[in-house]
Amino acid sequence: MNGQYLLYGSYASYYTAKTRSYLRKKGIPFAERLPSDPQFREKVRLGSGSARIPQLLTPDNIVLQDSVTILDFLELRFPELPAIPTTPCQRVFVHLMELLASEGLLQLAWKHRWLFDENLRFVKMDFGRSFRPQGSDEELMKYGNMIADRMMRHGLPQATESVKTNLDQQYLGLLAVIENHLVEHPYFLGGHPSAADYAIMGALHAHLGRDPAGLRLMQDNAPRVFRWIEHMIVPEVQSPEFFNRAIEYPADDQVPDTAMRVLHYICDHFGQQFVLDALAFNQVIEEIKPASGHIFDKDQDQPLLANQQIDYKGTTYPVRGRLYAVWLLQRSQRYFQSLGPDNQARVNQMLGESLSRELVSVPVKACIERINNRLVAA
């Protein structure tokens, strides 16, 4: 498809960062617009039925919302430099990272943004410019405060020193495993960017790589990660540090051990909730037995399921399953569970006795599709 695509988003936006990086690395012709652009309200939002960003307007006037949906759509139009590898181990790794590096790190990035006072002026001014690009400082702060008030109503813990120290420790641990990987590899899968790399840009660029508190920790403790983030937002695929590295996925379906350590770190810290989401979803499916085409919530694009009591490893958890997370998890589950015994054994060997292996093994009682920005039973 010839012509220019329009990306509607902002630099402070978690999910826009994923799509922007993808578009640049793929060499897809696009321009970026802010949500304040009148066309966003008058045309784009009407087309998608959603105010969420990012949204993409294609040259043939298709409107897409959601970073994963945008990637899947564009992969069909721009197959060069594929974001999803085709071999079993690498594809399972990438699909798990689509979940863990994006949804798994969301709470860490969100809390780290809003619980550290040194971030607040920068973030508020940044959000304010999304709505008043040429506004005065007073106007930017007015609109930034409106966004901040909305964001900070969603169950933030108190900003105690112990809470902030724990967030820093989780973040520093993440930086350490990625820093170690980047000693020898330009991307998670060798010399080739993938959806695994794009998925983590929300946390490491939009939030922790731009907000003052997170940025300072990154620069002081993980200079390779900082440099990698710089490289992930430019169109060149080969960085000067790895100018002679072939642009290809590792041979023989290999996933670097250092990349697996990144996946396991995120999964060990943040992955259990996704197992609970999947178990809660299966329990709901047993109750409602939806027909194909059933819309789980006509009003919400990312609904919570009815509360379920989930018994898991000797403990009972009250769980309102996050349907969007289940849909994203099913990308790895459905692919893994479609493999033959030999390939499943290879993937299991890669994952080891880990929570990530448990994630792909939870039975899929009903497949979810995303149609017209609603989650639907297949």
Please give the CATH topology (third level) of the domain spanning 88-116+159-269. Answer: Glutathione S-transferase Yfyf (Class Pi); Chain A, domain 2 (1.20.1050)
What is the per-residue pLDDT across 234-255, written as a single tens digit (0 to 9) for each? 999 999 999 999 999 999 999 9
215 close to 208: Cβ distance less than 8 angstroms: yes
Sequence-ordered list of residues with C-beta below 8 angstroms from that of 342, at least 6 positions apart, any chain: none
pTM beyond 0.85: yes
Please provide the DSSP assignment of 91-103 as one string.
Answer: HHHHHHHIIIIII
The domain 5-77: what is its CATH number?
3.40.30.10
Asked whether 12 and 130 are in contact (CB, 8 A), the reply is yes
Q: Is residue 55 within a helix (H) or strand (E), and if so which, with residue range?
A: strand 55-57
The per-residue pLDDT for 152 is 80
- CA dihedral (37, 41, 45, 50) positive or negative: positive
Looking at the predicted structure, is the pLDDT value of residue 182 above 80? Answer: yes
Tally Cβ neighbours within 10 Å of residue 78.
Answer: 16
Domain boundaries, given as residue ranges, for the chain:
5-77, 88-116+159-269, 273-338+363-377
Structure tokens at 74: 């564009």
Per-residue pLDDT tens over the stretch 90-138:
999 999 999 999 999 999 999 999 999 999 999 999 999 998 999 999 9
Q: Indicate whether 316 pLDDT > 90.
A: yes
DSSP notation for 167-220: HHHHHHHHHHHHHHHTTT-SBTBBTB--HHHHHTHIIIIIITTTSHHHHHHHHH
pLDDT band at 160 (very low <50, low <70, confident <90, very high): very high
- Answer whether residue 79 shows pLDDT above 80: yes
Confidence check: pLDDT of 154 > 80:
no
Q: Count of CB atoms within 10 A of residue 244's CB? A: 6
Q: What residues pair up with 65 in beta bridges, in sequence order?
A: 55
Using the CB atoms, write b or e for 39-74: b if 16+ within 10 Å: ebeeebbeebeeebbbbbbbeeeebbbbbbebbbeb
Is the omega angle on the peptide bond into residue 240 within 30 degrees of 0, that is, cis?
Answer: no
How far apart, in whole angstroms, are the C-alpha atoms of residue 378 and residue 366? 7
DSSP code at position 157? P
For residues 155 and 146, give the distance between their C-alpha atoms in angstroms, rounded to a whole number. 17
CA distances from 65 to 15, 56, 58, 105, 297 (A): 10, 6, 11, 21, 17
Under the banding of pLDDT at 50, 70 and 90, the label for residue 1 is: low
For residue 364, give the 3-state DSSP assignment: coil
Kind of pairing between the strands at 55-57 and 308-312: unpaired
Q: Which two tokens stand for residue 138?
A: 């007073």
Q: Identify whether the C-beta of residue 376 lies closer than 8 Å to the C-beta of residue 293.
A: yes
pLDDT at 153: 79
Q: What is the mean pLDDT of the chain?
A: 97
**In this structure, how many other beta carbons lie within 10 angstroms of the beta carbon of residue 325?**
21
Is the pLDDT confidence value at 175 over 70?
Answer: yes
In whole angstroms, give the CA distance from residue 344 to residue 336. 7
- Indicate if 88-116+159-269 has the same CATH topology as 5-77: no
